[in-house]
Amino acid sequence: MPDTIEVFVEPGCTSCNKVIAMVTSFAKRQKLHLSIFDRERDTDVFLNRKVMVCPATYVNNRLVFYGEFTEEALSKHIRL
């Protein structure tokens, strides 16, 4: 089963947009499942996860990053 990446973002967030672009490209190349949750649209998911800071990135249901990060850092949390 492929790893799952979830990114929590909010509208107008420059760091969120950078993370979305990088993670989308990475997930596509590695054939990973990616979900992006928007604070305005996915309020219930934000509340359930208690996400307060964006961007927040989870790998396999575990918080691994707040803010921006590199593909190299992300790859350390993925079973390639």
Task: Domains for the chain: give ranges and CATH numbers.
Answer: 4-75 (3.40.30.10)
Mean pLDDT value of segment 60-78? 96
CB-based contact 12:40 (threshold 8 Å): no
CB-based contact 21:14 (threshold 8 Å): no
C-beta atoms surrounding 30 within 10 Å: 17
Give residue-wise pLDDT tens across range 24-54.
999 999 999 999 999 999 999 999 999 999 9
Query: CA 76, CA 79: separation in Å to the nearest integer?
Result: 8
pTM over cut 0.75:
yes
Tell me what the pLDDT averaged over the chain comes to: 95
Give the pLDDT confidence score for residue 80 in this predicted structure: 64
CB-based contact 10:54 (threshold 8 Å): yes
Q: Which residues does residue 58 pair with via DSSP β-bridges, in sequence order?
A: 6, 63
Mean pLDDT value of segment 64-72? 97
Query: CA 25, CA 47: separation in Å to the nearest integer?
Result: 27
